[in-house]
């Protein structure tokens, strides 16, 4: 039973990772607007998104491991 839940957790983790990375790559595509558009310059969201995702993942894994040991 424990190996089944571990297998399910790993599949869920990989599926979540795939979805997060696929949306990141999809939104990173360059959209070239025509030259006659007077838009305000956009502000890119840089490294803090990735840092937050990594920190959240590590905290989540840590909490899962603590709950398994308890």
Q: pLDDT under 50 in the chain at which residues? A: 1
Q: Identify the H or E element spanning 3.
A: helix 2-27
Looking at residue 25, its pLDDT comes to: 60
Of 24, 23, 22, 13, the residue nearest 65 (C-alpha)? 13
Give tens-digit pLDDT for 37-52. 666 666 666 768 888 8
């Amino acid at each position: 039973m424990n190996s089944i839940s571990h297998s399910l957790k790993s599949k869920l983790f990989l599926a979540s990772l795939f979805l997060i990375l696929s949306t990141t790559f999809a939104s990173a595509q360059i959209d070239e607007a025509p030259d006659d558009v007077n838009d305000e310059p956009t502000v890119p969201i840089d490294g803090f998104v990735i840092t937050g995702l990594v920190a959240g993942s590590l905290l989540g894994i840590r909490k899962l491991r603590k709950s398994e040991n308890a």
